[in-house]
Structure 1
């Protein structure tokens, strides 16, 4: 298969089964959206299916959260209860990762998201996700940081405590075992 971002048929069938089961179990996240239409779209976009599989493999539990009528796209977010396990202990970006003198993490959020083929959730998207359930009650997730903040060395993360979404800042080079990131994918 090489560098091609495409699943073999067994992986594709297993992922579609997992996504359909999650879709049906969490119908309140996407009322009025029909699974068959999503599946058709996924089957005609193998690179998006590959990205969803990467989201799944890293613990994101992707699920459809809306449909954008203007662009004719289904929107998937990572809907795992806590920040995805396979994406934790990461600095914000490569600059932050390389700035660490010792205890460098293996990866960074921006590069991992790009490798998976997803976009980091913005603050607005993170708040939208929290309307669909309670996420990050024990963990936190890096969110897309405005350029002005990043230029000054900072990065943003968010979590859900005391029935409230909190958005915080940290040095972009920091990383914690309980902080990962969530992504969005348009199909």
Structure 2
């Protein structure tokens, strides 16, 4: 396991070196995952180049394949999946591959967690809420109400990445697979009625207990981020 971790860490370091212009600031903190880069950019999301170079693609495929082979607990039916089919689906969908790279760069460690109909479902599988997405408020409206410094908002980041924020249902399901967020919390997709109160849903784990509660959407802390999921159509 340690050799695998070292190998993946080495690949991630190389990948980050090739994408420095895409992620421009580091999130400081004492968590070892805080080496991940925060998704800040001076370019509007629509103007960013949503395509990886051949070298970046190869490095990302190496990371995904390492994780796919060495983390079978993320999906119990993994043996039925051929990674060559996953790679083929991603090669046919360069925007999805770019989205996965954003998840990876910010410390999400995406992996396949399910198959829905004709799609592979990827999700952030980092033990704690992705380090490069912490200290964020829930959405743009929440950010406009405060003057303190924060690292963007979960809703806009997810849109920029091209992924979905985890729902409460998905969060609870994933918590039955792996114990996530023992020391952190993650913003979850919030319905309009709840959001109208000024709050948003936040998930976390306390021992064996998974909690999803309503918190002020303006809150932002170094241990609070968000998790994403991405469906990639099979080919």
> Aligning the two structures, in what range does the TM-score lie when normalised by the shorter sequence?
over 0.9
- TM normalised by structure 2 equals 0.76
Quick check: 1:50 aligned with 2:98?
yes
Counterpart in the other structure of 2:127: 81
Q: Which runs of 5+ in 1 are unaligned?
A: none
Determine if contact 2:138/2:153 at 8 Å carries over to the other structure.
yes
Counterpart in the other structure of 1:109: 154
Quick check: 1:143 aligned with 2:188?
yes
How far apart, in 1, do the equivalents of 2:74 and 2:194 lie? 32
Counterpart in the other structure of 1:91: 137
- TM normalised by structure 1 equals 0.95
Quick check: 1:23 aligned with 2:63?
no
How far apart, in 2, do the equivalents of 1:109 and 1:29 lie? 24
Q: Which runs of 5+ in 2 are unaligned?
A: 1-46
Counterpart in the other structure of 1:4: 49
Determine if contact 2:73/2:178 at 8 Å carries over to the other structure.
no
The alpha-carbon deviation at position 28 of structure 1 amounts to: 2.8
How far apart, in 1, do the equivalents of 2:86 and 2:150 lie? 36
How far apart, in 2, do the equivalents of 1:139 and 1:4 lie? 31
Q: CA RMSD in A?
A: 1.1
Determine if contact 2:166/2:188 at 8 Å carries over to the other structure.
yes
CA distances 1:124-179 after superposition (whole Å, capped 9, x unpaired): 11011112211100001000011101011110100111212101111111111100
Higher mean alpha-carbon deviation, 50-59 vs 21-30, is at 21-30
